[in-house]
Chains A and B, each alone.
Chain A
């Protein structure tokens, strides 16, 4: 697969790979919002219409006093008013989401007006993208304050998802503390979606509650545990049969047991497992990628930039911090060097060297014009001499030898 060594072509459509969640997430939120509206309407309809029919029949057959009729109507009216309030707040929410989507679409659209990868505007756009990737990474790692601050300072709050991740983080923290309440509440809010794609999160949470009851070794608590299991665990017997059996077996052990699988079930590491499972389920439901976008971008970028010289034992002549006429390679720079160590380096099918290369007696290769230029700038070098900018050695100009690199 031979390709050109360099290219400045910008293909906006394929360039948007990292930006999918930007549009997907608000849309997912809008859809959820819409489903809530639908359900609310459905619920009121199912109440009001039969109630109305009932009231009419009762009134026809004179089974109802006028006061009862009025009370029934009042109940209907107040329920409808409740529905209206609910719909109004949901509509506000939706407007917010859709305005955010609009801004995001505009942001992506600007990329289409940028002619090439070397345009200043691309640089600006790409910096915004990096800020976005950083915020995404910070949020996923639980550094919410940093994320918020960065988003504010860079004025990109509309194109990052602070609220969604902060809520997710709150549940994760509650799980790490050993509380199931917030996670279960989230499950309740997303019941339909969870059921549809066979997620086990709720089952695992209920199982944890059960384990905690058994852990107390208190007789009444154990009794409660059995009731809890009947209510929440056994309905899942088709998919989770073996876990239910294990849970039943757990009743005769205490938490100091060394017998597996009961030891694992009692282990406090299960809370971490639940936290991870929650994050995974949460991200899947909102079609968020499971790994930070920054990782995706970096692992591709580190490899694309890396050369065998970046981790070489010898100092590169073409790019090093000792010479002024070159800039330090980002992979050689201390920030990324260690990180890139295990990455594969970029593939090249053609050599790429400075124009008019010469070799010095010490084996170092430089572009002739650049070497002469550097030597002229170095005060200490006399006329007719050149100084190796990497090693500091001084040679006669005649010692430069032409080298052929094909």
Chain B
């Protein structure tokens, strides 16, 4: 990267100091003065013109010289780029599975724009998709009516309700962050109390608690679940004029409390819609950028060895991502070293050790068998499927 920066710096400097136009200008001046001479004294024409040959030629040469310099500067920059991206070509286009899934990608993008609060871009985007679709529809309907029918059926766009939901999420977050107004959020959580409670979410309480820091607490309806916390709040009310010095200061004067609650709210809001809190498109694209170097290396190794992936469903190489990119528990059978799937689920033997179903079958052959990890013996029918 440094080399690229350096070469480009030189290129810029040379560009600023470029003399080529000046040389052109001086050529013009030479010609002009010759013209003036001839104009004032036509008899000198032959001499003047003869004298003109070499200077004009020379100035063209100096133009070419400066061009050559620029050219070599550009080549050096090209080389530094080549070096930076050496051995790192973009992946081959052989199997671009995604190009056949254009509507799904567009839908994911539209959802991403909505959840990022880019409502106007999202609506332009959806309009443009609709426009292109109708154009394709006109074109294809003139040729094959069947294709047109499938086009009409495909409605992959996020619905108007999704858009409204995100709009209200942004309104609530805006009120919370900019105006320190929790009322819309509390109202929302009250409207969704049943759903939130089923999840064991204490969002409403957290909101009310933060709210209480500003005004009087209205948390009595939540008392049975948060008895201890409510007691704390009631205690805190006694210190109302002097909150800072009170033993309850930590509840209220936590500067990150607002951000925490905003984040908590976003997560709960998205979860109720069955969506992840962070944009999946962002997480996936970032994970992709992290995974690419490894995958590319693999691709080149496989090409060199002319081998194929042994398992079509599974990547052939492990990719290390930051811990926050791990969402599910992962079960790898300690016997077969295979990941558990629906067809080969993890089974717990009575002693508490877990192996994959296929390994269990292979080890036991239907009879009593010894656990591969402890001395206890059991019958395969006593093993139980577990869910991670």
Contact = CB atoms under 8 A, between A and B. Distances in A.
Contacts of A314: 342, 387
Contacts of A331: 280, 284, 327
Interface in B340-388: 340-342, 346, 348, 351-354, 373, 384-388
Nearest to B28: A80
A6 to B, nearest CB: 5
Nearest to B124: A146
Nearest to B330: A352
B285 A301 contact: yes
Given A330-B278, A402-B352, A344 B329 contact: no
B124 A145 contact: yes
Contact of A13 (B1, B11, B56, B354): B1
A127 to B, nearest CB: 7
Interface stretch (B45-53, B170-178, B212-220): B45-53
Interface string A295-320: 11111111111011110111111110
A6 B316 contact: no
A37 B96 CA distance: 39
A39 B330 CA distance: 63
Interface in B122-143: 124-125, 128-129, 132
Nearest to A122: B286
10 contacts: A60-B50, A66-B42, A69-B49, A80-B24, A130-B281, A138-B109, A289-B93, A347-B339, A363-B348, A387-B200
Interface of B: 1, 4-5, 8, 11-12, 15, 18, 20-21, 24-25, 27-28, 31-32, 34-35, 38-39, 42, 45-46, 49-50, 52-53, 56-57, 60, 63-64, 67, 70-71, 74, 77-78, 81, 84-85, 88, 90-91, 93, 96-99, 101-102, 104-109, 111-113, 118, 120-121, 124-125, 128-129, 132, 197-202, 224-225, 267-268, 270-272, 274-293, 295-296, 309, 311-332, 334, 337, 339-342, 346, 348, 351-354, 373, 384-388
A392 B197 CA distance: 11
B78 to A, nearest CB: 7
Contacts of A170: none
Contacts of A322: 198-199
B201 A294 contact: no
B282 A363 contact: no
Contacts of B322: 6-8, 117-118
B38 to A, nearest CB: 6
A315 B329 CA distance: 12
B63 A329 contact: no
A316 B125 contact: no
Nearest to A343: B97
A405 B340 CA distance: 12
A303 B329 CA distance: 16
Interface in A81-131: 81, 83-84, 87-88, 91, 94-95, 98-99, 101-102, 105, 108-109, 112, 117-118, 126-127, 129-130
B47 to A, nearest CB: 9
Contacts of B388: 309, 316-318, 353, 365
Contacts of A59: 45-46, 49
Contacts of B49: 52, 55-56, 59-60, 69
Interface band, chain A: 35 or more
B385 A363 contact: yes
A299 B21 CA distance: 49
B109 A346 contact: no
A334 interface: yes
A401 B352 contact: yes
A70 interface: yes
A290 B93 contact: yes
A175 to B, nearest CB: 13
B386 A365 contact: yes
Given A2-B318, A105-B5, A20 B85 contact: yes
A403 B290 contact: no
A56 B56 CA distance: 13
A350 interface: yes
Contacts of B293: 11, 14-15, 17
B88 A17 contact: yes
Contact of B318 (A153, A300, A333, A348): A348
Given A143-B129, A347-B315, A363-B387, A23 B81 contact: yes
Contact of B319 (A105, A134, A304, A378): A304
